[in-house]
């Protein structure tokens, strides 16, 4: 017990003094997620808001051919400006990115309209450009509305009810709650948390085998009257503590970051108070042992620090795999999923954030199976630490 | 007291050590001499229990290095070749870590560490983190670390490698001090002069086998060479002829 504590304390002191470990455990991991998230959310909120409010400049070629249409568009908060001289120039301007969209009204537009023929109008845009595509959609909608209004007037003039053109009346009823909607977005966070957790222990895991070997401190360590099981266990415990610290920091920083995200404006109220932070920590904590032992295991097969770093960056992505598959297939939480580490944490975390009741049986299976996996992998680490090839 | 009998160890197809036997007694300095790749390190690594022999046996103070490796390690202080320190810990902390792992009582550790720091004359930099230490400084700290639990047997793998004249001299003084306190010191080297100047017994190894195991004078007599370096070469050639 004392040996275990000696090893543990040394690893903690050693790593607290290592700038690289500290940066990855206390800064990179915990801050990367929330910052990225806040950035994305703010950007999308800003965009969706600005769309409605901001007037859009629409260059039109042939304004003089459709004065009524132009007036209508202006009333829809679109700023009509004179477009390029010819249609060819307009296409060139859009291709070159000078204008996102150009509306071309042909000379015979008025005549076609008077004849009640479908009047041709061109909307030139680059659909591969997402911003332009959104602007084009806005203009297209405005034109459709004008089209509908004209149609209504024409039908009325002929004594036909405009309702004949609307056989269906489609009404969307959205039953998702504000917390539920945030679940989709915040579900992404489960990966950020796992990522931060793994980052926190990465350098310790490398140090346990590859690092000590490269420094030449492993061989003298193994000549001491201490069993190797105790050495590796002490090191894995230290790794776990750093991972837990990193996870806690990540959850806390996310809690604060959420306050600065205008999620309500996207119709989401995240259920992420201090109690949820605590529960999330307990929910994710069993994964720490798996993470620590997998990283130690992978690092023990590598020849050098650099090589270990390369392999461990692959390990950092591993927890996303089950999450990704289930998300892509949009599968509902099932009992079997709870046996899969990282996936079970992800699904339960979503329930927690959605403020839905967490299934106790699911929770029990998730915790037990994850801890069991972790224990098995730790045992495997200890086995491998005993082999002679460790030093080579 | 270190005993080795019929020790063999292979790595794949490479027979690093084949049937090495010798003894190192208390109160004596035993030198393991041989060219590079002769099997010195492998022999020592089996002794300080990081490798297991394929054949043969070795014991330290009667503790078998395979069956009773923890006890064998308890009575041994080992300095592996190119031993590294923890750069973020001070020299003192490095030594104290080993003291604690060796099972020294917590209250005794500070005093124990102090006395070993004094013995190795590393007071000047004991409080500094070992990052950026010179090779000589590192070797001294590694040695202090290996000796902190007062082992009866001391195994040093090429301790003087890369040391300057002053550092080599103080290392030599230390080894003599250990001998005077009745310790069993076993060290390897490929430098004939160093071994001749220090050792009571010399074991010359070549090609994984013991060529000669005798005192310096005995070796001169057996090989018929007056110069020890010639004797060294002659002994190695004797093995090659077999």
CB spacing of B93 vs A216 below 8 angstroms: no
| Three-class secondary structure of residue A61 per DSSP | strand
- The HSE-up count of residue A253 (CA atoms within 13 Å, CB side) is 23
Using the structure block, give the residue that is written with the tokens 């056989």: A167
A51-165: CATH topology is abc type-2 transporter like fold (3.40.1710)
* Strands A101-104 and A56-61, sheet pairing: parallel
**A118 phi and psi angles, rounded to 5 deg:** -60, 115
In DSSP terms, B8 is beta-bridged to B55
Nearest to A224 among B52, B71, B101 (CB): B101
One pLDDT digit (tens) per residue for chain B, 242 residues: 999 999 999 998 889 999 999 999 999 999 999 888 889 999 999 999 999 999 999 999 999 999 999 999 999 999 998 889 999 999 999 999 999 999 999 999 999 999 999 998 899 999 999 999 999 899 999 999 999 999 999 999 999 888 888 888 889 999 999 999 999 999 998 888 888 889 999 999 988 899 888 888 888 888 888 777 888 888 888 777 76
Eight-state DSSP code of residue B90: B
**Residues 6+ away with beta carbon under 8 Å from A162:** A151, A152, A155, A156
Question: B18 vs chain A: nearest CA distance in angstroms?
Answer: 19
Which range is most confident: A49-58, A347-356, B105-114? B105-114
Question: Which positions in chain A touch B89 (Cβ < 8 Å)?
Answer: 10, 13-14, 17
| B33 neighbors B232 (Cβ within 8 angstroms) | yes
Whole-number Å distance between alpha carbons of B56 and B54: 7
A contact test, residue of B79, B82, B83 with most A CBs within 10 A = B83
CB-based contact (8 Å) between A216 and chain B?
yes
Establish whether this prediction's ipTM goes over 0.90: yes
Nearest to A223 among B78, B86, B100 (CB): B78
Q: How confident is the model at residue A241 (pLDDT cuts 50, 70, 90)?
A: very high
Question: Which positions in chain B touch A212 (Cβ < 8 Å)?
Answer: 84
**Residues 6+ away with beta carbon under 8 Å from B186:** B2, B24, B30, B32, B44, B47, B153, B154, B155, B156
Whole-number Å distance between alpha carbons of A283 and A244: 12
Q: How confident is the model at residue A117 (pLDDT cuts 50, 70, 90)?
A: confident
B118-157 burial code (b ≥16 CB/10 A, e <16): eebebeebbeebbeebeebbbbbbbbbbbbbbebbbbbbb
Residues A59, A65, A66, A67: is their CA dihedral positive or negative?
positive
**A246 phi and psi angles, rounded to 5 deg:** -65, -40
User: In chain A, where are the structural domains located?
Assistant: 2-40+179-391, 51-165
User: 3-class secondary structure for A200-212?
Assistant: HHHHHHHHHHHHH
By a Cβ cutoff of 8 Å, what residues of chain B touch chain A? 45, 48-52, 70-71, 73-74, 76, 78-80, 82-89, 93, 97-98, 100-103, 129, 142, 145-146
| pLDDT for residue A25 is more than 60 | yes
Whole-number Å distance between alpha carbons of A197 and A284: 9
| B192 neighbors B229 (Cβ within 8 angstroms) | yes
Whole-number Å distance between alpha carbons of B130 and B125: 9
Question: A33 vs chain B: nearest CA distance in angstroms?
Answer: 29
In DSSP terms, B184 is beta-bridged to B28, B153
Q: How much is the average pLDDT of A240-246? A: 93
Say what the pLDDT of residue B216 is: 83
Whole-number Å distance between alpha carbons of A238 and A38: 31
| pLDDT for residue A51 is more than 60 | no
* Strands A78-82 and A56-61, sheet pairing: parallel
Between helices A343-353 and A178-206, what is the axis angle to 10°?
A: 140
Among the residues of A223-342, which ranges form H helices? Answer: 228-259, 274-284, 286-300, 305-317, 320-328
Residues A200, A238, A384, A305: is their CA dihedral positive or negative?
positive
Of B10, B22, B29, the closest CA to residue B178 belongs to: B29
A contact test, residue of B84, B104, B155 with most A CBs within 10 A = B84
Say what the pLDDT of residue A302 is: 86
Residues B212, B216, B218, B221: is their CA dihedral positive or negative?
positive
Whole-number Å distance between alpha carbons of A186 and A179: 10
DSSP secondary structure, A237-256, as one string: HHHHHHHHHHHHHHHHHHHH
Q: How much is the average pLDDT of A181-210? A: 80
Q: How confident is the model at residue A187 (pLDDT cuts 50, 70, 90)?
A: low
Question: A293 vs chain B: nearest CA distance in angstroms?
Answer: 22
Say what the pLDDT of residue A184 is: 56
Whole-number Å distance between alpha carbons of A362 and A349: 12
User: In chain B, where are the structural domains located?
Assistant: 1-75+151-242, 80-150
pLDDT in tens, A133-171: 778 888 888 888 888 888 888 888 888 888 887 888 887
Using the structure block, give the residue that is written with the tokens 């299976």: A365
Whole-number Å distance between alpha carbons of A351 and A333: 10
Which range is most confident: A86-90, A134-138, A354-358, B173-177? B173-177
Of A297, A287, A298, A279, the closest CA to residue A191 belongs to: A287
| pLDDT for residue A53 is more than 70 | no
Structure tokens at A98: 């000078």
**B139 phi and psi angles, rounded to 5 deg:** -60, -40
Say what the pLDDT of residue A33 is: 76
Say what the pLDDT of residue A278 is: 92
| pLDDT for residue A181 is more than 70 | no
Say what the pLDDT of residue A176 is: 62
Q: What is the CATH number of domain B1-75+151-242?
A: 3.40.50.300
CB spacing of A220 vs B51 below 8 angstroms: no
| pLDDT for residue A229 is more than 70 | yes
| Three-class secondary structure of residue A392 per DSSP | coil
- CA dist list (Å): A145 to A72, A141, B106: 10, 6, 85
């Amino acid at each position: 017990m004392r040996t275990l504590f000696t090893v543990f304390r040394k690893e903690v002191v050693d790593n607290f003094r290592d700038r690289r470990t500290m940066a990855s455990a206390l800064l990179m991991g915990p801050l990367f997620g929330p910052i990225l998230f806040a950035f994305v959310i703010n950007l999308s909120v800003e965009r969706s808001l600005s769309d409605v409010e901001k007037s859009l400049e629409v260059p039109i070629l042939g304004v003089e051919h459709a004065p009524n249409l132009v007036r209508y568009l202006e009333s829809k908060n679109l700023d009509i400006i004179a477009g390029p001289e010819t249609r060819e120039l307009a296409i060139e301007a859009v291709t070159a990115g000078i204008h996102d969209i150009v509306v071309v009204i042909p000379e015979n537009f008025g005549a076609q309209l008077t004849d009640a023929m479908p009047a041709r109008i061109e909307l030139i845009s680059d659909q591969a450009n997402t911003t332009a595509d959104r602007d084009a959609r806005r203009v297209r909608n405005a034109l459709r509305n004008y089209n509908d209004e004209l149609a209504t007037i024409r039908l009325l003039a002929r004594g036909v009810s405009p309702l004949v053109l609307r056989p269906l009346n489609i009404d969307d009823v959205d039953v998702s709650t504000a917390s539920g909607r945030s679940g989709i977005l915040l579900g992404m966070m489960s990966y950020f948390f796992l990522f931060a957790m793994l980052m926190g222990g990465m350098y310790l895991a490398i140090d346990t085998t590859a690092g000590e070997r490269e420094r030449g401190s492993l061989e003298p360590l193994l000549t001491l009257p201490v069993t190797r099981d105790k050495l590796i266990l002490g090191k894995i415990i230290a790794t776990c503590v750093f991972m837990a610290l990193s996870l806690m920091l990540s959850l806390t920083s996310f809690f604060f970051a959420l306050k600065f995200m205008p999620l309500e404006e996207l119709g989401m109220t995240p259920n992420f108070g201090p109690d949820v932070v605590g529960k999330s920590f307990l929910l994710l904590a069993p994964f720490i042992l798996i993470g620590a032992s997998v990283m130690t295991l992978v690092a023990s097969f590598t020849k050098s620090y650099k090589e270990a770093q390369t392999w461990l960056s692959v390990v950092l992505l591993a927890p996303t795999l089950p999450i990704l598959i289930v998300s892509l297939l949009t599968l509902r939480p099932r009992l079997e999923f709870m046996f899969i580490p990282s996936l079970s944490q992800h699904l339960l975390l979503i329930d927690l954030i959605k403020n839905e009741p967490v299934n106790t049986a699911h929770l029990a299976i998730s915790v037990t199976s994850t801890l069991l996996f972790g224990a098995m992998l730790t045992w495997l680490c200890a086995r491998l630490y005993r082999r002679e090839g460790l030093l080579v | 007291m270190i005993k080795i009998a019929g020790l063999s160890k292979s790595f794949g197809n490479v027979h690093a050590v084949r049937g090495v036997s010798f003894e190192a007694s208390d109160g004596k300095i035993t030198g393991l001499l041989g060219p590079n790749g002769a099997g010195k390190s492998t022999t020592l690594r089996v002794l300080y229990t990081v490798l297991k022999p394929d054949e043969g046996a070795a014991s330290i103070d009667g503790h078998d290095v395979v069956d009773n490796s923890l006890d064998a390690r308890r009575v041994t202080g080992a300095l592996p070749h190119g031993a590294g320190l923890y750069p973020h810990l001070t020299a003192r902390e490095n030594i104290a870590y080993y003291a604690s792992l060796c099972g020294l009582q917590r209250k005794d550790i500070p005093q124990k560490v102090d006395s070993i720091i004094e013995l190795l004359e590393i007071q000047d930099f004991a409080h500094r983190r070992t990052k950026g230490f010179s090779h000589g400084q590192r070797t001294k700290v590694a040695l202090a670390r290996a000796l902190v639990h007062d082992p009866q047997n001391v195994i040093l793998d090429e301790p003087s490698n890369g040391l300057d004249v002053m550092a080599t001299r103080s290392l030599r003084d230390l080894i003599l001090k250990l001998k005077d306190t009745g310790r069993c010191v076993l060290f390897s080297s490929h430098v004939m002069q160093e071994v001749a100047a220090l050792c009571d017994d010399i074991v010359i190894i070549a090609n994984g086998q013991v060529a000669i195991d005798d005192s310096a004078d005995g070796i001169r007599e057996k090989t018929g060479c007056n110069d020890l370096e010639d004797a060294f070469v002659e002994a190695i050639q004797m093995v090659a002829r077999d």
